[in-house]
Structure formats: structure tokens, C-alpha cells
Amino acid sequence: MNSQIKIFYEIISNKNKFGSFQIGEFKFFYKILEKDDYERELKGYNIVKKFYNVENLLFNISNNNTGILIYEYDDEINENKGLLVDYFADCDKISNIFYNIINLYKNIFQKTLKFTETESWDVFYKNRIKSRLNKYYDSSFYDKYDGLKIIFNNKIRKLNLKFTITEILKYYNENPKKYWTIISQCDPTDLNITISGRIIDYLGGGENPLMAEFAMFLWQNICIGNYLAIKYNPKYFDNHNKIISKIDKVNFDEKNNKLFHYIRDIRFESIKIYISEIIIQLIKGIKYNDWYKDLKNFISLKILTIFDLNIMEKKDLLLSLCYLDIFYENNFEKPEELLNLLEDIYEKNK
């Protein structure tokens, strides 16, 4: 019997495990999750499957501590093949593959857009105040970097860290709060989306703030997918490691406190398309004056809590804090102004 079972790969993330295996001619994808995450995943899956193309859930079971979910394996996915991360590894210019994914998301967002209270997003945002933000950083961290001057992409920045943290905490203490929401997974990373638009993670699935979804996409394509995740979570790319050769260059002149980061053209183009085709189109049809207030608080928490900045190289810590300062200091009225900011950071510094 053992000769009929083949394990393709397994990834351990915190206390959860993910992987794939084959029994005879049948392939499966599995998740072994802590009970709370198991229940969230199952609930998210049942909501998301009504709107998105998802893997078929074949079996699930739980006890008091753990849950197991077994999904049908997607043959589209293989080593360095099938996921959006592989698309970004293989391509230097946007093609119809990406436009098709964007159109899929836009259509679903337009159908499900509503103004309501929701908690689906808490797992990736509000819950991380206690589990990560307060755990990673203390007053000595804020004292050390508050007021620091850095020349980032040829522009002088003075970090206003203490004020930013105070405002972030104030924002998340506003409860209850209604948002403009859409049905989504709330974690649109390169490893969670296939090139055909199928999504394969449902932990945060449900009615999620539009800006929470956008914040993850934005930060993913600015700094996570092509840089920070490759450096600080390389195990996650074991079966899709071609992207590692495309890692961004970050240059740091410590003597003069000069820092430079330029993201790949394809990543920047993906952001511009998302803003133009989704954010601008959705916002123009609703009254959403606080869209940027929501966005900057969502993306700021992502910047601070996906990784512990204390474990990073100095240049990467400062890179993260520069982006935190850039996003938080602004208060845009229109998404077009955000596009202008990003173009000022990147296109004028080629």
C-alpha cells in the first residue's frame, strides 16, 4: 500500500501544514490546520465557491484541536508552473493572462459590492494587532527610528513613526465600523491564484473590505512577491522557486543614508492595471470619501506584520519603514493621485 502513496511536497507554516499527495492515479491537495483556522477556511470556502472558480473540497474532518481538508488537485499546478507567481517569474510584460484575472475579479467585485459590517478580514488585519504588532515592537523600536532621515529613491524622508503607530491603533479601535466590501479571499498573493484565475486559499474568504483586498495586492506587488518573501520566507517557494532569480535589487548607502528600490516593470504595470480597471471603476459609482484612509491603515498593518522588521537586514527594515511613511503621510481624494505618487517613486527614478 505504501508504494501507492506518493508525497509531492509539504510546507509547514506556523502550526499549519499544506501539501499534496497521490494515491494510485488520484492526486490531492491537503491542509492540516489548527481548529480556528480550519473553521475559518471551511466557512470562507463555502462563501467564495459561489462566485469564484475553486478547488473541489472532497473531504474534511476535525477534532477539538485540528482540522483536515482534502481538495481535488489542480493539474494546472506543477513545479514552477500554474500559479501567478510562475507567470511573474516567466514574463517581463503584462499579457492577456493577467488581464483575464483582473476582469474576473472586477466582475465579481461589481456584483458583490455592498456597504456593511464584516469580520472575515480580521484574521489578516485586526487580529494581528495583538498577535504581531504588539508582540514585535515596543517603545524602544519606535524611539530608535522615529524622526530618522533617509534619502529614499532620491527623495528625503523623515520617518514619523510614533504618530503613525498611534493613528493606526486609533483606527482599529473604531468598532463597530462599516466598510465597502466585496466577496473575496482577502489574501490575493501570487501563490494563492492560478493563471486561469482559480483561487486556492480561503482562510479570509467572505465579505471583505475592498481596501483590505487592495492593500494586500498592492503590498504584494510592491515589495513582498519580488523581494521580502523571497528573502524571509524562501521555503514557501520550494515548488515555485524560479521567481527567486528575479528578486528586486535594493541598494543601501549606509554612510549617506541613501536607499534605492525599483520594482520590476511587470509588477508596477500590474498595480496600475488593478487601480485603473478595478479601484477607479468601483469607486466612481459609490460615495466613498474615506477610501484612502482605509487603504493606508490596511497597507500599514501589512507592512508591519507580515514579517517582524526586527529580524530583517537594516536596509530591508528601513525600506519597509520608508514605504510605511510614504503611504501614511498622504491623504488622497482620488485613486489617480495614488497612481501619480507611485509613478513619481518609480518611473522618474529609472
The pLDDT value given to residue 18: 87
The pTM assigned to this predicted structure is 0.95
- Which residue positions in the chain have pLDDT lower than 50? 1
Tell me, yes or no, whether 297 and 222 share the same domain.
Answer: yes
Is residue 78, in this structure, part of any structural domain at all?
no
Tell me, yes or no, whether 23 and 131 share the same domain.
Answer: no
Tell me, yes or no, whether 63 and 112 share the same domain.
Answer: no
The burial of 8, by beta-carbon neighbours within 10 Å (0-12 exposed, 13-18 middle, 19 or more buried), is given as middle
Q: CB under 8 Å to 91, separation ≥6 — which residues? A: 266
DSSP per residue over 37-104, as a string? HHHHHHHHHHHHTTTS-BPPEEEEEE-SSEEEEEEE--TT-BTTBSBHHHHHHH-SS--HHHHHHHHH
Is residue 342, in this structure, part of any structural domain at all?
yes
The pLDDT value given to residue 277: 97
Beta bridge partners, 6, equal 22
64: phi then psi, degrees, rounded to nearest 5: -70, -20
The pLDDT value given to residue 218: 98
Cell of 44: 470562507
**Domain termination residue (choose one: 72, 104, 122):** 72
Tell me, yes or no, whether 118 and 153 share the same domain.
Answer: yes
Closest by Cα among 122, 136, 70, 87 to 242:
87
- The DSSP symbol for 193 reads B
Is residue 270, in this structure, part of any structural domain at all?
yes
Q: CB under 8 Å to 81, separation ≥6 — which residues? A: none
The pLDDT value given to residue 14: 73
The pLDDT value given to residue 348: 62
Beta bridge partners, 69, equal 31, 60
The pLDDT value given to residue 349: 61
Q: 208-235, pLDDT tens digit by residue?
A: 999 999 999 999 999 999 999 999 999 8
What is residue 180's three-state secondary structure?
Answer: strand
Spatial contact of 13 and 56, defined as CB atoms under 8 Å apart: no
Tell me, yes or no, whether 239 and 135 share the same domain.
Answer: yes
Tell me, yes or no, whether 89 and 66 share the same domain.
Answer: no
Beta bridge partners, 17, equal 12, 32
CA atoms of 122 and 107, how far apart (whole Å): 24
* Structural domain boundaries enclosing 163: 84-349
The pLDDT value given to residue 102: 98
CA atoms of 67 and 57, how far apart (whole Å): 13
**Domain termination residue (choose one: 72, 97, 122):** 72
